[in-house]
Amino acid sequence: MTRALLLVLLVASPLRAGVHYSGESFREFPARWAGYLPDHRLLRSLGVTDPRGLTPTPPLRDAYADGVQKLEAAAKAGDLGADDAADLGALHLRLGQPAKALAVLRSAARRHPEHFRLAANLGTAWQLNGDLGQAITSLDEAVRLAPANLRAVEALHLKLVRSRQREADKTRLDDLFGVTFVGESGAPEAGKLAAIEAKKLPADALALVQQLALALPNDGRLLWQLGELANAAGDVRTAANLLDGCVGEFALAGDDVRRRRELYRAAAEALDTANKPGEVKGVTFRSARALKRSLDPARLPKVKPDGVNGLVWAALTETEYGPRGKPTFLQYLDDLDGKRVSVTGFMAPGAGGRGDELAGFVLTENPVGCWFCETPGPTQVLVVELADGLTAEPTRQVVKITGTLKLNRTDPEQYPFTLTGAKLSAAD
């Protein structure tokens, strides 16, 4: 790893790009992968609806839908100013309705031609509606109007759309930095980037692309770009996981992405076999996760004194720690303390098992591909202790757990949430 690469990705600032909604706020970038990827999935899920009703609606989607209703009511009353129009367009974009966003933003941008958020959101709306020429025109204006701390990320968005207009081949990696992601041999290499290529990367490359990918969470080629940046820093496990998502979730079918995925996956599996953590260099993460979430307590389910209550994952992540490690829980969690709850998630092995049979394990909201590089924070996991005499076989499938919730208020060395006397079943 070259000295130049050790300096890559170190400088970061709290950036936003592509979709500007006043109700969203972000922490500093780059964010740790364990926190960033669930936020990426969350924002992606906002635009996905399940007509059969088999997929739970994210609470954030309900909140955004309410925001749309209120702003549309204001528009009908003639009270929609530039800021509100920018928010309404952003909400339509988040909810997977780019045509509605375009209708709102075009009209508002004509009335307020010097409004930065309108120009930036309009550029994204044109892009998602498939008119890259119009997107470039609007994003050009957004770069001109952007405040200094946002200009770099807006310029990268503009560069992305120009790259897409020039290169119609959707199987190719975007040319965002003029970098060929290969090793010294001139071919892709797991965990390596040629020194001459590393010098081309700006110091804030990862921070910029992470933010752009949150603005465009359904863009698989941006996820591929993140995978290449992870691999350039030696993080082959994250690179493999991200390219797995590109091929599996986003159906990128090009030979290049598939070849790189196989290469990175083989390197990651070799590390796993040797039980080695790998050497990730050159990245200083600025925050544990990207998106600041603030739950509306009124949207949480009412706690039933008897029976089994559904446990909302997002409520766990709202737990805050004081300077001495004392946690502050939402009232919702305080009310659930000592009560039976049910929750779905993914298993990770814990202590207390015999062979492949587990008496306890850790449960996460989303699958974790690499516990070295994607270690969840303490408020992102549940410790599960199965009822006496029960064991479970490890599985990568989503599972449902029912148990008694215990909050840890006193021991900062232990996880804050435990499910005791738990039973495991298939997810509904």
Q: Give the number of other CB atoms < 10 A from CB of residue 220.
A: 21
Does the fold of domain 296-426 match that of domain 3-273?
no
Strands 381-386, 417-426: pairing kind: parallel
Q: Tell me the mean pLDDT in the region 76-86.
A: 94
The whole-number pLDDT of residue 396 equals 78
Q: Is the pLDDT of residue 141 over 50?
A: yes
Whether the CB-CB separation of 246 and 261 falls below 8 Å is answered with yes
User: Using CA of residue 197, residue 200, residue 206, residue 211, what is the dihedral sign?
Assistant: negative
Which class is 296-426 in CATH? mainly beta
Q: Give the number of other CB atoms < 10 A from CB of residue 262.
A: 13
Domain chopping of the chain, boundaries: 3-273, 296-426
Bridge partners of 422?
386
Measured torsion, CA atoms of residues 221, 119, 30, 217, in degrees rounded to the nearest 10: -40
**Which has the closest alpha carbon to 249: 366, 82, 162?**
366
Q: Which residue carries 């309009």 as its tokens?
A: 122
**Which has the closest alpha carbon to 395: 428, 422, 361, 419?**
361
The whole-number pLDDT of residue 100 equals 98
Whether the CB-CB separation of 347 and 394 falls below 8 Å is answered with yes
Q: What tens digit of pLDDT does each residue of 91-140 get?
A: 999 999 999 999 999 999 999 999 999 999 999 999 999 999 999 999 99
pTM to 2 decimal places: 0.76
Residue 272 binned pLDDT confidence (cut-offs 50, 70, 90): confident
The whole-number pLDDT of residue 49 equals 67
Domain 3-273 has CATH 3.10.450.50: no
Q: Tell me the mean pLDDT in the region 307-323.
A: 84
Q: What tens digit of pLDDT does each residue of 159-196 get?
A: 999 999 998 788 899 999 999 999 999 999 999 999 99
Q: How many CA atoms lie within 13 A of 272 on its CB side?
A: 14
Q: Tell me the mean pLDDT in the region 300-312.
A: 91
The whole-number pLDDT of residue 385 equals 95
Q: What is the chain's mean pLDDT, rounded?
A: 87
The whole-number pLDDT of residue 187 equals 96
